[in-house]
Amino acid sequence: MQVDVPQGGPSRRIVLRRSALLHGAVAGFIAICVAAVGTTLAARVGLPHALLAALATCAALGLAWRRAARRRPASLKIGPDGLTAWNRAGEPVAQGRLAGCAQWSGWLLAIALVGDNGRSRTLLFTADMFCSDLFRELSVQARRAAHGAL
């Protein structure tokens, strides 16, 4: 894990790891959807058509997953005025002040950001994207900032 600390202040850029937990969950959900389409349609339209529909479902959900993976944050910078997230290509995917936060049992952190234009975006972070100290620090900072924003 790489953490860059700039000379000018307390903000820092954190490079995130890819989450095995998130990839496993999405792959499991896709498998369940494909199985549901296949078993539902097999009784109604026959096995060949059901397999074709299941394959189309798998392809559509796989493409959606790939598109979402490109927009998923690969690094983020926590500053005094908010949070900025970049994808693997270095393009900003979200920027704004922290407006809300929810944490589930130390495994998942959802942070709501509100941009300058008033639009909100929710970012999901799993614990395996950070070392445990950074995950706790981010959750504490997000709760403090969200509580101050309310």
Cβ–Cβ under 8 Å, residues 102 and 110 = yes
User: Within 10 Å of residue 38's Cβ, how many Cβ atoms?
Assistant: 18
Pairing of β 108-114 and β 75-79: unpaired
C-alpha separations of 40 from 49, 57, 86, 93, 124 in Å: 11, 13, 40, 38, 32
Pairing of β 92-104 and β 108-114: antiparallel
C-alpha 146/C-alpha 150 separation (Å) is 6
pLDDT digits (tens, 9 = 90+) for 8-63: 445 678 888 888 988 999 999 999 999 999 999 999 999 999 999 999 999 999 99
| Overall pTM surpassing 0.85 (yes/no) | no
pLDDT digits (tens, 9 = 90+) for 123-136: 888 888 887 788 88
Q: Which two tokens stand for residue 64?
A: 């959606």
Q: Which two tokens stand for residue 80?
A: 């005094």
